[in-house]
Structure 1
Amino acid sequence: MSSRSAKREPTASNVFDALANRRRRQLLFSLFDADTDTDETIDPVELIADVAEIPDSQATSIELHHVHLPQLDTLGFIEWDSETNEVGHGAAWDEIAPVLDLLQSNQDRFAEELL
């Protein structure tokens, strides 16, 4: 997918940076739940539409395209093809997946705004 060469090494700070924004969390949780082995194309806006109320899908799409997808791609958690707008697990997905699993498995212990 992405051919960016400026990927960062995964760190705890990168994981927390990725999870610091609600849209990025929604995208990561949706990607965590998606069957990336059988889904041929995964559109990021459609991915989060199932879990989030999106008042303005065009604004959300622009925000994802210009802010969140490039950041998650640079961190290596996702691979994003900006031309086709497809996302998938990145090279550092295994660094964030256990954190997503832990949060999701214990979602009843967190305030809704935190997830």
Structure 2
Amino acid sequence: MGLIHQVELFDALADGTRRRLLVFLLDHESRDVPKLSGVSAEMAEMNRVLLREYLSGSRRVDGGDKELLRTHHVHLPKLDEFDFIDWDQEANVVTKGSRFDEIRPLLEPLEGREERVAPVADVRLRR
């Protein structure tokens, strides 16, 4: 397995949202993706630099769904680029990609356990 391939696998699994989506696809053919609407849709149309700053910061916007924006602008494009999923943006549906079977062995041990895995933000290091 090449270094680039390993990086893609670990990058795909590095985020809980991406892991949960991939684990879901183990037993399902597709997953509907909620559409962006209202303030979130307006924010998605704004300047890419401002959107990136908003998604990476702690600032809140009334009516904006930061996690859904992050899903549409970070997680789904990344998994689609790696071909682990196919994302039909018009139909708002995700299906298994051409390389899904390459990541399957890493997902199977996570099946049924993902809910118990603490999000990165909840992990604290002791000194």
Structure 2 residue 74 is matched with structure 1 residue 80:
no
1:22 aligned partner:
16
Q: Which residue of 2 aligns with 1:92?
A: 99
Q: Report if the CA contact (8 A) 2:80-2:86 is conserved.
A: yes
Q: What is the identity percentage for the equivalent residue pairs of Structure 1 and Structure 2?
A: 40
Match of 1:32 among 13, 26, 29: 26
Secondary structure at the counterpart of residue 91 of structure 1: coil
1:65–1:82 CA contact under 8 A, matched in 2: no
Task: Tell me: higher relative CO, structure 1 or 2? Use CA pairs within 8 A at least 6 residues apart.
Answer: 1
RMSD (Å), alpha carbons: 2.6
Cα distance 1:91–1:113, how it changes in 2: closer, same or farther (>3 A)?
Answer: same
Report the TM-score when normalising by structure 2.
0.58
**Which residue of 1 is the match for residue 56 of structure 2?**
none
Q: Which runs of 5+ in 1 are unaligned?
A: 1-9, 46-55
Q: TM-score, normalised by structure 1?
A: 0.63
**Distance apart, 1:60 and its partner CA:** 2.5
Q: Which has the larger radius of gyration?
A: 2
Deviation of 1:79 (Å):
0.3
| Gap regions ≥5 residues in structure 2 | 35-62, 120-127
1:48-87 aligned at under 5 Å gives the runs 58-87=65-94
